[in-house]
């Protein structure tokens, strides 16, 4: 079953598992309609990922109030088909909205285009269990682009896809994704998931990825002492 036919809460769970593995995080705790992930990073102590903001707005507001009252720099991340309304709720509860909304995207991996890496670039792909790690270098062996994809239970989650500034507009982003998708399909993946910035959304749309929801994030206004 492809991502377009699966419920948003199910896809959110799959997405969180993938980026959690990519980042080396402990498994999330599920409670009160959200997945709670302890990162311990400066500025992002605990991240709560709402599973069904559209279907349970009361739980969304309660979670927003809970995060707003935290003594730590905690964050609430909300995949939703109503991002404007969600942003209003988070603001009303006293959270500080992230500067930019992201996009939750999915694809049937079999429909992804196969774009080769063009000369003078070379690609290398390493695998560590479910983690696929790709690097593209130029003719002087300097890094040009990179990306990670985690394959779990038939779902491939793309993470940290980037092209270095001096190598942009040369098709490397598409080549990174194509190489990762080929390898993921070889591991049995059928559905691809990722989150994209507004700028990145254009690339992924051109590659056939579909926007499934917006992703609104907000955090506590200031760490409390």
Topology adopted by domain 107-212:
Aminopeptidase (3.40.630)
pLDDT tens, per residue, the chain with 225 residues = 565 678 999 999 999 999 999 999 999 999 999 999 998 778 889 999 999 999 999 999 999 999 999 999 999 999 999 999 999 999 999 999 999 999 999 999 999 999 999 999 999 999 999 999 999 999 999 999 999 999 999 999 999 999 999 999 999 999 999 999 999 999 999 999 999 999 899 999 999 999 999 999 999 975 444
pLDDT of res. 224: 44
pLDDT of res. 72: 92
* Rounded-to-10 torsion of CA 182, 185, 189, 193: 20
- State both tokens at 43: 């500025």
d(CA 148, CA 157): 8
* Contact in structure between 97 and 91 (CB atoms under 8 Å): yes
Q: Write down the domain spans for the chain.
A: 3-104+213-219, 107-212
pLDDT of res. 2: 60
Q: Which long-range contacts (CB under 8 A, 24 or more apart) does 57-60 make?
A: 57/89, 59/32, 59/33, 59/34, 60/33, 60/86, 60/89
Is 3.40.1350 the CATH number for 3-104+213-219? yes
- State both tokens at 218: 């907000």
* Pairing mode, strands 102-108 and 191-196: antiparallel
d(CA 196, CA 189): 20
pTM: 0.92
CB within 8 Å of 24: residues ≥ 6 apart: none
Q: Would you tell me how many other CB atoms lie within 10 Å of the CB of residue 118? A: 10
């Amino acid at each position: 079953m492809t991502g377009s036919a699966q419920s948003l809460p199910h896809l959110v769970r799959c997405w969180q598992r993938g980026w959690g593995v990519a980042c080396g995080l402990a498994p999330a705790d599920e409670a009160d309609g959200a997945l709670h992930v302890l990162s311990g990073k400066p500025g992002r102590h605990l991240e709560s990922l709402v599973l069904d903001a559209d279907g349970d707005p009361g739980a969304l507001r309660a979670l927003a109030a809970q995060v707003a009252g935290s003594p730590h720099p905690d964050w609430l991340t909300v995949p939703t088909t109503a991002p404007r309304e969600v942003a209003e709720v988070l603001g009303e509860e006293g959270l500080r909205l992230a500067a930019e909304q992201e996009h939750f995207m999915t694809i049937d991996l079999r429909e992804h285009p196969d774009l080769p890496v063009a000369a003078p670039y070379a690609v290398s792909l390493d695998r560590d269990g479910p983690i696929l790690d790709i690097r593209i270098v130029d003719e002087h062996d300097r890094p040009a682009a990179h990306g990670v994809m985690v394959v779990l239970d038939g779902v491939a989650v793309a993470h940290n896809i980037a092209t270095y500034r001096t190598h942009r507009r040369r098709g490397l982003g598409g080549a990174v994704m194509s190489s990762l998708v080929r390898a993921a399909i070889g591991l049995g993946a059928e559905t691809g998931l990722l989150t994209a910035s507004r700028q990145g959304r254009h690339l992924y749309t051109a590659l056939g990825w579909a926007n499934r929801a917006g992703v609104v994030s907000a955090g506590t206004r200031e760490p409390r002492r």
